[in-house]
Amino acid sequence: MEKYEKLEKVGEGTYGKVYKAHDKATGQLVALKKTRLEMDEEGIPPTALREVSILQLLSQSIYIVRLLCVEHVEKNGKPILYLVFEFLDTDLKKFIDSYRKGPSARPLPPNVIKSFMYQLCKGVAHCHKHSVLHRDLKPQNLLVDKEKGILKIADLGLGRSFTLPMKSYTHEIVTLWYRAPEVLLGATHYSTGVDMWSVGCIFAEMVRRQALFPGDSELQQLLHIFRLLGTPSEKEWPGVTTLKDWHVYPQWTPQNLARAVPALNEDGVDLLSRMLQFDPAERISAKDAMAHPYFDSLDKSQF
């Protein structure tokens, strides 16, 4: 690790600290992520190595944060993996915050929202094409190059050998705000729809500059969703009442989604509603989302 000069801590992810660093040989800025793996006697589990290589493969897309290399070091006889990523100046959470706070608070420009949404769908479509689910998409995991107007997905593919804990290593609660209802209801088999739900929540949050469903427990999270979209039944979502954590909930009727995102045009509201379908099988795919009329006015040649 002498190759890198650590500059400052830039974030705390679910799995550990992220440092900004300087590659002494090339002068390039990088983000160093120390991964906390469950080590066994044999060292780094092969599943983790497999996932790192998937990550390396996926990060060929410009909408995925580039994994530059992996450094393997020993500390007190224990193996540690450092993932070395390209460095980006901000994340979508900080980007949205910059429009929310202070004297210059204003809505995000609609063309920026559209461009970021398109890039997000493109990145997610790329992952899904390779059968990789992200499972924890949130504004904090989306890195932004402000200068170039590029959005990239981070914290990807660490889904299986790096199981998602309830609390991060700093005991921070892992956010539930972007979690799909089937995950909250304890579905054991879930698919690409979990990511598309998160994409919908992120879309709404860019428009509102505040979270759509800010729950602070799994139950509260579900109630936030049901209050806006109506309490689901077997009619909208066949099989819902057989999910492990299903209970009897207060009965709400669906509200008008457009009222939750007043600054969004009709096409945008239509796309959002397709991302927030209760039945995961009915939820729009990332690829189909890219072809939605909401994006018709976008110059797609730049992507």
Give the interface with ligand AMP as residue ranges (CB under 6 A): 10-11, 13-14, 18, 31, 65, 85-88, 91, 140-141, 143, 154-155
Give the integer Cα–Cα distance in Å for 20 and 6.
6
Nearer to ligand AMP, 14 or 285 (CB): 14
Closest CB to ligand AMP among residues 154, 240:
154
Residue 136 is among the residues annotated as catalytic for this protein:
yes
Residue nearest to ligand AMP (CB): 13
Rounded-to-integer distance, Cα 110 and Cα 265, Å: 9
Q: Based on CB atoms, which residue is closest to ligand AMP, 91 or 195? A: 91
Which amino acid, 38?
E
Q: How far is the CB of 64 from ligand AMP (least distance, A)?
A: 11
CB of 224 to ligand AMP, least distance (A): 23
Q: Note whether 295 and 114 are within 8 A (CB).
A: yes
Q: Judged by CB, which is closer to ligand AMP: 38, or 266? A: 38
Q: How far is the CB of 1 from ligand AMP (least distance, A)?
A: 17
- Catalytic residue from among 23, 40, 91, 136: 136
Nearest residue (CB) to ligand AMP, 97 versus 279: 97
CA-nearest of 70, 29, 72 to 52 is 70
**Backbone φ, ψ for residue 24 (5° rounding):** -60, -35
- Shortest approach of ligand AMP to residue 268 CB, angstroms? 26
Question: What amino acid positions are annotated as catalytic residues?
Answer: 136
